[in-house]
Chains A and B, each alone.
Chain A
Amino acid sequence: GDSVTQMEGPVTLSEEAFLTINCTYTATGYPSLFWYVQYPGEGLQLLLKATKADDKGSNKGFEATYRKETTSFHLEKGSVQVSDSAVYFCALLEPGGFKTIFGAGTRLFVKA
């Protein structure tokens, strides 16, 4: 079945460092891809999405590009802030379906 694999955490960075959280997926067809974020004490919220190959989703300085050839959707940010500390989930929506499959989540700690 479809699946999402993301790098294990926690990831600890200093403020203004460059962030990459890897995400790869297995799916038939062309799923939509998402990054969700869960800030401490809060629920999940959508961070960005991409719906077709080579699309780039972006929001709040975060970016991710839908790479069909490598089945990847890595999350990047050029300069992280303490307020970016959260758990980040990569997810895919099965093509033509209703189910969203989530990765295990990656916890990010950003130190001042």
Chain B
Amino acid sequence: SQTIHQWPATLVQPVGSPLSLECTVEGTSNPNLYWYRQAAGRGLQLLFYSVGIGQISSEVPQNLSASRPQDRQFILSSKKLLLSDSGFYLCAWGAGTGRAKQYFGPGTRLTVT
């Protein structure tokens, strides 16, 4: 069966510090991978998606970046965090085009102080 892991589960970082959140998927190959942010009291915002190794599409301008160094690994990074980066970050994977649903990881709660 497929499993998606995210770590860390929670993170408290000062403004201006770097960020690295990791997501890995097991039990599937060549998945589409997604990073979402869920800010407090707001909906789910798509940040990045990837359809293959090294292929990253950015949905919103921001100081975050994403990388996909391996087929089932998706990393969200920042060189300098802002207060507005606080939120709940969700990684998801989906298989193929058309009718595929997405499977979500447990999420990382990031608080920038």
Contacts and interface: CB of A to CB of B under 8 A. Distances in A.
B98 A32 contact: yes
Contact of B43 (A51, A89, A97, A98): A89
Given A32-B98, A93-B99, A96-B98, A102 B106 contact: no
Interface of B: 32, 34, 36, 42-46, 49, 51, 59, 90, 92, 94, 97-107
Interface residues on A, range: 20 to 34
A82 B95 CA distance: 33
Contacts of B32: 98
Interface of A: 32, 34, 36, 42-46, 49, 51, 89, 93, 95-105
Contacts of B36: 102
Q: Sort A-B residue pairs by CB-CB distance and give the 10 closest, nearest first.
A: A104-B43, A102-B44, A44-B104, A43-B104, A105-B43, A51-B99, A43-B106, A98-B32, A32-B99, A46-B101
B46 A103 contact: no
A97 B97 contact: yes
Nearest to A96: B97
A102 B43 CA distance: 7
A100 B47 CA distance: 11
